[in-house]
A = this chain, B = another copy of it.
Amino acid sequence: MSYKKGEFLYEGKAKTIYSVLSDENFVWLEFKNSLTAFNAQKKGEFEGKGKINLEITNHIFKYLQSNDIKTHWVQEMSESEVVCQKLSIIPLEVVVRNITAGSLAKKFNLKEGVQLKKPLVEFFYKKDELGDPFISDEQALVLGFVESQKTLDDLKSRALKINELLIQFFDKCEISLVDFKLEFGFDLKNNILLADEITPDSCRLWNKKTGEKMDKDRFRQDLGLVKESYEEILLKIQQNWSL
């Protein structure tokens, strides 16, 4: 199918969204070179970042699709542009954690790097003005962010299934999947699809041999070699997984 880029719709922190001309079922995403952290209080960018993140997501989403996970991904249009299904985004960030790090370690004063006894799914309410607060099922339901416990349970089981698949995916690249954030949405037929991206911006990824951080924490924590780490992740994926 051929798609034509339509009008500007929305500029996010890492992507710009356009309509697709004459087809309301799709959107046109442009992956940007910008990097943000701490609810966009810290900003940066590097040349080629959009391209790398699109390519990583492309590999991962095609791998997930081949394992029966439905995603919004449709067709790459350039090195940093892709056409996706238009979804009604569920306003939850769905986080899965395998190893203690980030906000979980901070909240409970835990040492970083400890394997959890089983994967932990967390929901955060997607709302920049509120700082994306951590929420419970009951809060999501009573405040009307989702309609039913069934939807929440569905999101949890999808997230856990994706976690199993991604652990295998990164294991082959000798990378530990520490934690990651997913977003989901409903298509026009009310199916839930995986949306957004899966990249070093949205995952914590540690080199399995050296323990070195390879993800956005290098930017958050001023560890340097941000671009090089993102490139290394893509290279390892390309070496281990064919499209």
Q: Does A129 count as interface, using CB distance less than 8 angstroms?
A: yes
Kindly specify which of A1-9, A120-128, A231-239 makes contact with the partner chain.
A120-128
Bound complex: CA A143 to CA B120 (Å): 9
Q: Does A150 count as interface, using CB distance less than 8 angstroms?
A: no
* Those of A119-170 within 8 Å (CB) of chain B: 120-123, 125, 129-130, 133-139, 142-144
Nearest B residue to A121 via CB reads B138
Q: Does A108 count as interface, using CB distance less than 8 angstroms?
A: yes
Bound complex: CA A130 to CA B136 (Å): 19
> Quick one: given A116-B142, A118-B142, A142-B118, are A109 and B130 in contact (CB under 8 Å)?
yes
Q: Are B109 and A122 in contact (CB under 8 A)?
A: no
Identify A108's interface contact among B104, B108, B143, CB under 8 A: B143
Q: Does A107 count as interface, using CB distance less than 8 angstroms?
A: yes
* Those of A81-130 within 8 Å (CB) of chain B: 104, 107-109, 116-118, 120-123, 125, 129-130
Q: Are A142 and B129 in contact (CB under 8 A)?
A: no
Nearest B residue to A127 via CB reads B108
Copies in the complex: 2
B-contact 0/1 string along A50-93, CB 8 Å cutoff: 00000000000000000000000000000000000000000000
Q: Are A123 and B136 in contact (CB under 8 A)?
A: yes
Nearest B residue to A133 via CB reads B107
Bound complex: CA A221 to CA B92 (Å): 33
Bound complex: CA A65 to CA B204 (Å): 50
Contacts of A116 in B (CB 8 A): 142
Identify A130's interface contact among B108, B120, B125, B135, CB under 8 A: B108
Q: Are B137 and A120 in contact (CB under 8 A)?
A: no
Q: Are B122 and A107 in contact (CB under 8 A)?
A: no
Cross-chain pairs A/B with CB under 8 angstroms, 19 sampled: A104-B139, A107-B130, A107-B133, A108-B125, A108-B133, A108-B143, A109-B130, A117-B142, A117-B144, A118-B142, A120-B138, A121-B138, A122-B136, A122-B139, A123-B136, A134-B134, A134-B136, A135-B136, A136-B137
